[in-house]
Amino acid sequence: MMIKFINTIVLCICMQFGISQSLKQLVVQNGSISYYSVGEGETIIFIHGSQEDYRVFMPQIELLGDQYKVVTYSRRYNFPNDNKIVGDYNIKSEAKDLKILIETLGNPVHLVGHSYGGLIALELALVNPNMVRSLILSEPALVDWLHDIPECQTSYQDVQEYLIKDTRNAFLTGDTTKVLKEIFEFFAGADIQDQVPPEVLDMLKANLREMEALVTSSIGLKAPTPENIKTLKMPIMILTAQMTMPMLKCTNAKLIEINPQATHHNVMNAGHEMWMTHPIELSNIILGFIN
């Protein structure tokens, strides 16, 4: 699975050539964000996860752009943006950026949020529900919930100790290799830097600023509460990868429990990086849900 993931990243990086010149810039508070848009009609906005950027969803541009207006953007601390880290990073500031993007494009829109991008999509939908036609959430990073789920509390402690604390300490050394080591060991179970193609490492390094903002913030992983999410009225679809991390299965199960009306899809033979490895299957799922 990891090799397939790496190969697909390489493909997405190759797809960016000729596209980077077409990226549009949008001014937001304390900086700017970059986005790419194709097609006409109802708008679908894709929101990437941590240590990713707009390139993750380039296959969806190709697959959906003839039927919808498809938008993929890089969040404020992600490639190719060059904004300085300001204040305590959190989903509220990211949701404000997203609101400006939606206002620029015209609303309402269909939101697709992956991992940390799922938290941002939820926050935007809660604060500005009139802007959202539908909400598609692929394993939103609701790790803040783990603390209150008895069978998942060990995962919460692991995030705090081995992702947040260790990665924050690695950033203090200024050693990029050490930072990536901590990230790989948490998500892949081992430091696999020597197995990763140089172009992939370059992509990961290009998005380390957002990871730094996340692990050095006191409220970086603060998520909307289950009680708030229960109030959402728009159509919701939840995606769970068959081979994802146990902590994400745990939080997705809770999300499904509090949203019994939501559509749920299990993406077979996929991990958390499902948008890289299963783009065609996911585009078909999106079309079936939106249509």
Q: Over the stretch 124-176, which tens digit does the pLDDT of each residue have?
A: 999 999 999 999 999 999 999 999 999 999 999 999 999 999 999 999 999 99
pTM for the model: 0.93
Task: Please name the residues in contact with 37: beta carbons below 8 A apart, sequence gap of 6 or more.
Answer: 24, 69, 70, 71, 105
Look up residue 214 and give its two tokens. Answer: 């996340």
Rounded Cα–Cα distance for residues 35 and 53 (Å): 10
Q: 7 by DSSP, 3-state: which? A: helix
List the chain residues with pLDDT less than 70: 1-21
Indicate the helix (H) or strand (E) that contains 28.
strand 24-28
* AA letter at 32: S
Rounded Cα–Cα distance for residues 261 and 71 (Å): 27
Rounded Cα–Cα distance for residues 282 and 272 (Å): 13
What domains appear along the chain, each with residue ranges and CATH number?
2-143+223-290 (3.40.50.1820)
Rounded Cα–Cα distance for residues 194 and 181 (Å): 11
pLDDT value of residue 156? 96
CA distances from 11 to 5, 56, 57, 172 (A): 10, 10, 12, 33
pLDDT value of residue 200? 84
